[in-house]
Structure 1
Amino acid sequence: MARKQVFTKHRSLFDRNVPGTTAVLAKKTVAVAGCGGLGSTAAIALVRAGVGHLIIADFDRVEASNLNRQQYFTGDIGRKKTAALSAHLKKINPSLKIVCVDKMLGPKDIQKLFTKADLMIEAFDRAESKQWLIEAWTQAFPDRPVICGNGLAGIGNTETLRVVKFSDNVYFCGDGKSDMSIGLCSARVAIVANMQANTAISLLVQK
């Protein structure tokens, strides 16, 4: 395929985006901590919107039990989540710049690994992990937003799902109360993940 054809094909990916956003988002870097239901779904939304740089972090491998809500396929089972997700994202936009962090994150990693990120999508499962990430992020990068998932389990009423600005640069997306013990449904998880992505896009474009 000729170079001109490749460029035209790539450019058409974003022809239907909100005018004026593509050029801005192409220069932005978003960190995604956790590549499960929230992280994998939010990452796809961000790439489709035109975000040009991602840093994705997860230590885990894809399991069959992930497939009800996470953006993977049966052929991905056994692969590192970062590798599988990176491959899928590059199929959407081959020009995407992506860094994969294959490790279990801790508070000391945040400043070192995410210095180039304009904002953070928090996509962990455990409440204690969410807490230390928020604390570490706001301490390391007080002027950069962190967008968290908070309450996404179950099915049904979506009117309880909202975006709450907790403090200057901390946002919570979800219902704020549902516990994962009641089960996870792809539709509700995806709504919250896309709320995170939508909030991120809005903040990035405003900067």
Structure 2
Amino acid sequence: MIPSREEMRRELDRRHGKVLQDRFADASVAICGLGGLGSNVATALARAGVGHLHLIDFDRVDISNLNRQQYMAHQPGVFKTEALKENLLMIAPYVKVTVDTVRITEENIRRLLRNDDIICEAFDVAEAKAMLANFILENMPEKYLVSGSGMAGILSSNTIRTRKVTEKFYLCGDEISDADKGDGLFSSRVMICAAHQANMIMRIIAGKYDV
């Protein structure tokens, strides 16, 4: 039997404190890219009781994603937005999940992200990362942006960190490793970087802006 909304909220209040949980429940986070980073960030935020998750991706689940992304073996071929929404609602049935199955471009960023408090950048492609970050910093400076860069290979966990770049821009990762240079992507290290992003997002919601 699925716990009621009230039962789940009571337990989150007990674990996190009611004041902080109220802030989580009122927050809206956009997750741009639902691969290894984005799917793990979304899962962590759903478990924490963040009230609204906005999932944005144009891609479908592929069997090659299953080694590090939060999808199931029956989901290849399904749009990542729909597959992740299904999985999140099994974890946190009362979270509000909005999906946009589109590729983010400079033409639609403002419309897509206008109602979200915090933007999580979780793209795979460097050019897409730069495009989103530059647009947000230049055109939507009121938004908080938490980005990921560098989590490939089996390097030390301690090389992944969170760095505050500007007042509202945070970068998580080792900022060096690159899967395109022969280093594989492994679930453990990708999840460490995603956890940095999710934790920074929760700190921002809590009003804690240092790293």
**TM-score in same-fold range (> 0.5):** yes
- Partner in structure 1 of residue 191 of structure 2: 190
SS at match of 1:164: strand
- Partner in structure 1 of residue 70 of structure 2: 71
CA distance in 1 between partners of 2:161 and 2:104 (Å):
27
Amino acid at match of 1:192: C
Name the CA shift for 1:27/1:8 in 2 (closer, same or farther; >3 Å). closer
Give the C-alpha shift of residue 15 in structure 1.
Answer: 4.5
SS at match of 1:172: strand
Deviates more, 1:135-144 or 1:55-64: 135-144
Amino acid at match of 2:102: K
Amino acid at match of 2:192: I
Task: Describe how 1:14-163 pairs up with structure 2 within 5 A.
Answer: 14-15=12-13, 17-19=15-17, 20-163=19-162
Amino acid at match of 2:91: I
CA distance in 2 between partners of 1:110 and 1:27 (Å):
22
- Partner in structure 2 of residue 205 of structure 1: 206
CA distance in 1 between partners of 2:14 and 2:189 (Å):
26
CA distance in 2 between partners of 1:8 and 1:97 (Å):
15
CA-based RMSD of the aligned residues comes to: 1.5
The number of aligned residues is 204
CA distance in 1 between partners of 2:78 and 2:10 (Å):
31
Gap regions ≥5 residues in structure 2: none
Give the C-alpha shift of residue 94 in structure 1.
Answer: 1.5
Name segments (4+ residues, structure 1) moved above 3 Å.
Answer: none
Is the Cα–Cα contact under 8 Å of residues 17 and 49 in structure 1 kept in the other structure? no
Amino acid at match of 1:10: M
- Partner in structure 1 of residue 9 of structure 2: 11
Percent identity, please.
40
Is the Cα–Cα contact under 8 Å of residues 31 and 54 in structure 1 kept in the other structure? yes
CA distance in 2 between partners of 1:116 and 1:8 (Å):
26
CA distance in 2 between partners of 1:53 and 1:88 (Å):
15
Gap regions ≥5 residues in structure 1: none
Amino acid at match of 2:191: A
Is the Cα–Cα contact under 8 Å of residues 5 and 94 in structure 2 kept in the other structure? no
Give the C-alpha shift of residue 56 in structure 1.
Answer: 0.6
Is the Cα–Cα contact under 8 Å of residues 20 and 206 in structure 2 kept in the other structure? yes
Is the Cα–Cα contact under 8 Å of residues 164 and 173 in structure 1 kept in the other structure? yes
CA distance in 1 between partners of 2:195 and 2:146 (Å):
11
Give the C-alpha shift of residue 118 in structure 1.
Answer: 0.4
CA distance in 2 between partners of 1:61 and 1:71 (Å):
13
- Partner in structure 2 of residue 174 of structure 1: 173
